[in-house]
Structure 1
Amino acid sequence: MGAMFRSALLAATLAPLALGCGAAPTPSPQSQNPADFVLLGGAVRTLDPARPQATAIAVRGDRIVAVGTDAEVGAFVGPETRVERLSGRAVIPGLVDGHCHLHGLGVALESLDVRGKKSPEDVAQLVAAEAKGRAPGEWITGRGWDQNLFTPATFPTHAPLDVAAPDHPVALERIDGHALWANAAALRLAGVDAKTADPAGGRILRDATGAPTGVFIDNAMDLVTAKIPGEPPEVIERRILRASERALSLGLTGVHEMGINDATVAVYRKLAAEGRLPIRVYAYLAGGSNLPALSQRKPDVDPQGTAMFVLRGVKLFADGALGSRGAALLAPYADEPKSTGLSIADRKKLTDAARLIADAGFQLAVHAIGDRANRDVLDAFAALGEGRARALRFRVEHAQVLAPEDIPRFAALGVLASMQPTHATSDMPWAPARLGPERLRGAYAWRSLLDAGARLVFGSDFPVEEPSPLLGLWAAVSRQDPSGAPPGGFMPEQRITLDEALAAFTTGPAYASFTEASHGRIAPGYIADLTLFSGALAADRSLLAAKIDRVIVGGKVAFGAAMSKTEAP
């Protein structure tokens, strides 16, 4: 069959499918420059206000060339165009995790997983099993313990780990990454004893005699982690690639990688240069001692939105986490009246750092969970002068507990609220006890921020939380955990709609990465980063059962079956 005849026959066949009649489309110039592939018969949520819904998409190279009805897009079908009939399946702009630790996920996938354990002894059993396969003196690292699951809900001591692995140093990160649980062997290697002072922005938990219990909060963690051998580049590479494959399988086309060091940056650059980085990574350098040298560096820019790796930001910390009572609060914790948390960087340090980072042209993202930390960050951004934080698209990471009067300041300053919906549903069993009823009203306040005009950027903070964006979408629209608890939702007045939640995982991260003209929407001229589902999407429990059919990055299938050529029936 000749190529011209096949093209005409295929175009004539598509029109009746779309229109329900026998009229074939008039030949158009598009058929002379056909698409590489066409998706037909889908439920396309474009996130484009000009055309929110469509049924078909045409892609040529790495760009979307047409969006519309099956008949409109059918004009882009040529002899070699691959045609996929979706039969009502959902297609959305590629989902992007706006705050995560991709390399950290790779580390977690190769470390001891102690999530969900109900006692220190349960954790110790896993450590003992791990020690059997390790040479004496080899470090055992892991992540995921949460003292809120223990009975009583108190921090553990090093004693169970000493019994489990007396000949191995053990260092286990809390689930939020803001506390470390170590055994006596690790304490000896770190040289930590009763005489060791708490570092600035950190806390060593101690027993009645002043001896360290084995738990280190925030900056104090460095006392132990500094002794753990570093990763060689080949291990970093392996972990990035393993984590990338996991992220793609969950529907993500890109991530915002928070707080990485130069060794990890170098591996990312190598993978991208070799064409081996399968997922888009927009990265933030870990701030700290390297800040004074920032003026000698230049941020990456990606005007076309085609780069697979971009380093344009810097990540700093204002405080710790709520679960370990390291979040900096304006008033004492309701369940620990003697403490208001930890300020890792006070207002002056934040202001000085923000000015230095702004002068160097970098974007700043600051971790702030408590209301005091959030206020300090907003004050630091405001001190830069009118419009400067907005122009550089400065961000607050987590924005978890806000004083009501600070909520409108996000929109007024043009500061992005980078939040993680599953933090609310993970924290809800114990957050009310930490905060008390009045202060809780400003916590996890997605609806309040949106109504005040703020831009939301959603992520998961994986591996702190599970990496699936579907869990985040469900938490955002329901304020419930996957089991459906609590009935009616946790602070249900803060729910948002499915379209608003999808925007926070698509157009929000695109704006945050300065690529809103090429990413975050399904529209002609935009990069073909797409997430395809095996069924429809709805704002109900079916979200949790949704399956990823394909993930397309830059017009190429990055996850799922390759699309084969489809001839006319």
Structure 2
Amino acid sequence: MILRRATLFDQPERGRVDLLIRDGVIEEIAPAGSLTVDPPVEEYDLDGRVLAPGLWDEHVHLGSWAEYRRRVSLEAAESAREAAELMAAGSGAHDAAGSAEVLIGAGFRDGLWPDDKTAGLLDDYSGATPWVLWSVDLHSVWLNTAAALQLGHEHALPEGVLREREAFGLAEQLARGSGDSRDQWVSDALDAASARGVVGIVDFDFDDNHANWTRRRTGEDRWSIRVHYAVYPQDLDQAIARGDHTGKQVAPGVNVGFLKVITDGSLNTRTAYCCEPYRGISGEEYGAMNYSAVELEALMVRGTQAGFVPAFHAIGDEANRVVLDLFESVGVSGRIEHAQLLRDVDFTRFAALEVTASVQPQHAVDDRDVAEHYWSDRTDRVIAIRSLLDAGARVVFGSDAPVSPLDPLVQIAAAVTRTDDDRQSWIGDQRIGVREALRASMRNDLVVGQPADLIALGADPLWLERALSQDPHRLAQALRELPVELTIVDGRVTHHAL
């Protein structure tokens, strides 16, 4: 394959160039018009478009995202009653997961709701139909009485709410029952991601990811995105018995990823483990850990000895402290997923311990109101990407889809502007530049010998930054809507809109 008349991202001094791609790698880069190949190969004329490394989403719950796109959306709910009303309104328009009798809703944010969630409130609208309502952060799920009884969680009544590990278990239970339809939904979601320049994902789905991805890739050539999937503690023994380890290829385009452990909760569920108590709550609430430090250390040691790189979820600043201490005491490197709230003294520890901060910039936009309510005394340390980079940390970006959309350009816009509405940038001194944001979403470079995981853009994002730097609202919109006109993975075109 030859890409003609490309402008290389962040290399304008080279002018327009031609690229030869062979066997999935960049084989040659030459001045435009000077590259010839015999016999002729497939060609695409980029006509000056910016060619950039493809984008990775470093944190996705792919099966949940694929389902979320088909569920009753609860994003607009500003109260528990409004969520129930949205479920009732959507009861005839959406597929159900697991059983045709179960109605699934997703995406509610209840951190600032004025009323309580109860199974009885849902019962008023649902009747005997089982309803399952997922919070946007997936750390809690709200059931009506029929669903609690059918799914074996009657102990949650009368509230009908499952949190943390119980909620994750229900996610696995529903995933197992969704059958072949879920694989098709995943395929559709990946096609949509390709159209936004995604060349690879790290899948942290709450499921048996080894079984899912080896099944999905068997005999299939349509899967267009590289996948690194996570292994959770309950599947670790089985993975070790198979000889799995981080980086092992198990199917075309599919590799074993990280050992994922969810150490604490989330801000919206008020379960993220913090050094100081949450504000605006009666009594003292600090959140909590899902595992003891002893259990976490044992998992980290066992996983790393078997060749797994640990990726430990930590959102509260106390949870991040605990996990950083474990990386230091065990003497291994890895990743912290989210790193949402950090102590001032911990920013430099990421670089010192060679721990990657896997951050979701859109959370700074979506969570600003709930953070201002519960963490009003510490907002300068929330999604503090500028501080992490200045401290020398390696930062990578993900979406945490379905918590935010599987679209790296959304994350890039949020990191650069920290706004997506008419309000000013939230904690604006934590904004970063477009070049830095793009690099946090890329894994390869535009040089000979690198993988041919590439995208052609309809506008130069660095030019957009220069032109709109004084207007963060317009810049945010321009970056979120940046056209992706060609996506190439491993030297194969996976999206074409030239």
Question: Does TM, scored on the shorter chain, surpass 0.5?
Answer: yes
Q: Deviations over 1:477-517 (max 9, x none)?
A: 11112x2x432x1111111111111110003xxxxxxxxxx
Q: Give yes or no for the alignment of 1:486 onto 2:451.
A: no
CA RMSD of aligned residues (A): 2.8
Name the counterpart of 1:146: 109
Distance of aligned partners of 1:227 and 1:530 in 2 relative to their CA distance in 1, 3 Å threshold: closer
Between the aligned partners of 1:254 and 1:145, the Cα distance in structure 2 is: 28
Between the aligned partners of 2:190 and 2:289, the Cα distance in structure 1 is: 33
Between the aligned partners of 1:302 and 1:145, the Cα distance in structure 2 is: 35
Distance of aligned partners of 1:544 and 1:82 in 2 relative to their CA distance in 1, 3 Å threshold: same
Between the aligned partners of 2:151 and 2:455, the Cα distance in structure 1 is: 46
Between the aligned partners of 1:291 and 1:471, the Cα distance in structure 2 is: 33
Greater Cα shift, 495-504 or 230-239: 230-239
Between the aligned partners of 2:247 and 2:28, the Cα distance in structure 1 is: 23
Contact 1:408–1:452 (Cα < 8 Å) also in 2: yes
Contact 1:305–1:527 (Cα < 8 Å) also in 2: no
The alignment partner of 1:349 has SS state of helix
Q: Give yes or no for the alignment of 1:325 onto 2:325.
A: no
The alignment partner of 1:549 has SS state of strand
Structural mapping, 1:283-432, within 5 Å: 283-287=229-233, 289-299=234-244, 307-336=252-281, 337-385=283-331, 388-389=332-333, 394-432=334-372
Distance of aligned partners of 1:147 and 1:312 in 2 relative to their CA distance in 1, 3 Å threshold: closer
Q: Give yes or no for the alignment of 1:545 onto 2:484.
A: no
Cα offset for 1:79?
5.9
Name the counterpart of 1:156: 117
The alignment partner of 1:213 has SS state of coil
- 1:241 pairs with one of 167, 187, 193: 187
- 1:533 pairs with one of 452, 457, 478: 457
Between the aligned partners of 1:420 and 1:320, the Cα distance in structure 2 is: 15
Name the counterpart of 1:554: 490
Greater Cα shift, 494-503 or 291-300: 291-300
Name the counterpart of 2:445: 521
Name the counterpart of 1:90: 50
Distance of aligned partners of 1:477 and 1:226 in 2 relative to their CA distance in 1, 3 Å threshold: closer
Greater radius of gyration (CA): 1
Q: Give yes or no for the alignment of 1:265 onto 2:210.
A: yes
Distance of aligned partners of 1:41 and 1:232 in 2 relative to their CA distance in 1, 3 Å threshold: closer
Aligned pair count? Answer: 480
Name the counterpart of 2:397: 458
Cα offset for 1:88?
3.2
Cα offset for 1:155?
4.1
Cα offset for 1:58?
2.5
Distance of aligned partners of 1:175 and 1:125 in 2 relative to their CA distance in 1, 3 Å threshold: same
TM-score normalised according to structure 2 size: 0.88
Between the aligned partners of 1:373 and 1:231, the Cα distance in structure 2 is: 33
Contact 2:140–2:163 (Cα < 8 Å) also in 1: yes
Cα offset for 1:297?
3.2
Cα offset for 1:474?
0.8
The alignment partner of 1:361 has SS state of coil
Between the aligned partners of 1:465 and 1:321, the Cα distance in structure 2 is: 14
The alignment partner of 1:242 has SS state of helix
Report percent identity of matched pairs.
30
Contact 1:343–1:373 (Cα < 8 Å) also in 2: yes
Name the counterpart of 1:40: 5
Q: Deviations over 1:242-274 (max 9, x none)?
A: 211111112111111114433x42231233342
The alignment partner of 2:493 has SS state of strand
Unaligned runs of 5+ in 1: 1-35, 197-203, 205-210, 508-519, 564-569
Name the counterpart of 1:177: 138
Contact 1:299–1:311 (Cα < 8 Å) also in 2: yes
Between the aligned partners of 1:349 and 1:145, the Cα distance in structure 2 is: 31
Distance of aligned partners of 1:232 and 1:463 in 2 relative to their CA distance in 1, 3 Å threshold: closer
Contact 2:63–2:205 (Cα < 8 Å) also in 1: no
Contact 1:143–1:175 (Cα < 8 Å) also in 2: yes
Between the aligned partners of 1:234 and 1:369, the Cα distance in structure 2 is: 34
